[in-house]
Structure 1
């Protein structure tokens, strides 16, 4: 990492989140403050703040005398994330669909095409999150969208672990059906498709 002196805690946390999700740091692995500070060429202060952000997001855990470690992959936590996504994402989509502008619909369609064109699971997972967030761009509830974005980040770890060895490039019919409902400005159909789509996730 170069030019680390200009990095904020947010940027450091973003970089570490990316690596945790993709398995660069293993579940239970200790996040060593001195090593990470050296890598980013910053003092320990922004690294500590970045760690606090990871803990708040549920990507890391902090225990006395054990330091900060990558959060374990917990089946109970995975189920909780799925339940929360099923509760919150349809609400955001229901409010978004009637308000989406032509430009926002175009951006969601472009995100869908990008998702379909991905050739590896890591690119697909990021594109899949971008697509779903794009469909909710018309929802005028920033706190709700922030919570959904964090839930999707947590879900990404489980998706990558579960599908890593059996994922193949594909076109997602649910994404196409969802976009068709969005173009018709049909929020009920859109949320029904999304609920079915999310219920299939492990």
Structure 2
């Protein structure tokens, strides 16, 4: 299993540390779909007992990143085209409204941070960084809304599809298209056009949905 070992034997938040490490490894594809999460092995890597490992895996299962299979135990979840469509349909409903509410509250600092994110995304030649930079751009704009519950739900949805989006950006022309769409969304925010920002966000998500579904189907 490809995980960075950490000695957390004396750390109070051992479960949280294991959870974050496993979550990151799953999202970034270091732990593959269908790969078992062996509690003893993970406990040794982090120099801890199985209790925080079991708690971490339970949290991952709640987020849909892990599932329990008979005779195999916990394994990394896959994502069907049907599930992906549902997640994207949900995102297309909630994210445009969040950015619509955020635009009037965006500060110059927020806009500059978002601009730096899409500029870094555009300039990056490292596929491993694209997913994080993409999320940074959107989350920076969304945070101005102050709708924390909505933001948490969006983060959870992104966790489920992040590793597939990363693959899509690598395997298609998604990088160039996403960059152009990011700039258009940012410019709408800059001019204070909340309705346009919302519509561009909806189209951005819908376009990514179609490309991702094709990508998932091609991998089956």
TM-score normalised according to structure 2 size: 0.85
Candidates 181, 193, 196, aligned match of 2:200: 193
Candidates 4, 7, 11, aligned match of 1:3: 7
Name the structure 2 match of 1:136. Answer: 142
Contact 1:118 1:169 in 2 (8 A): no
Q: Distance in 2 between the 1:101 and 1:166 partners? A: 34
Residue 161 of structure 1 deviates from its aligned partner by 3.2
Question: Unaligned stretches of 5+ in structure 1?
Answer: none
Name the structure 2 match of 1:43. Answer: 49
Name the structure 2 match of 1:106. Answer: 112
Q: Distance in 2 between the 1:107 and 1:78 partners? A: 29
Residue 70 of structure 1 deviates from its aligned partner by 0.6
Residue 25 of structure 1 deviates from its aligned partner by 1.7
Q: Distance in 2 between the 1:15 and 1:142 partners? A: 23
Residue 172 of structure 1 deviates from its aligned partner by 1.0
Deviations 1:150-189 (A, max 9, x none): 1112121221333434468647111111111111111101
Candidates 166, 177, 186, aligned match of 1:179: 186
Deviations 1:9-58 (A, max 9, x none): 22221211121122222212210011011111111111111111111111
* Cα distance change on mapping 1:182 and 1:13 into 2, 3 Å: same
Aligned residues: 202
Q: Distance in 2 between the 1:165 and 1:80 partners? A: 22
- Alignment map for 1:15-164 (pairs within 5 Å): 15-63=21-69, 65-164=71-170
Q: Distance in 2 between the 1:140 and 1:165 partners? A: 35
* Paired residue secondary structure (2:204): helix
Contact 1:121 1:167 in 2 (8 A): no
* Paired residue secondary structure (1:69): strand
Q: Distance in 2 between the 1:98 and 1:112 partners? A: 20
* Cα distance change on mapping 1:168 and 1:128 into 2, 3 Å: same
TM-score normalised according to structure 1 size: 0.92
* Paired residue secondary structure (1:172): helix
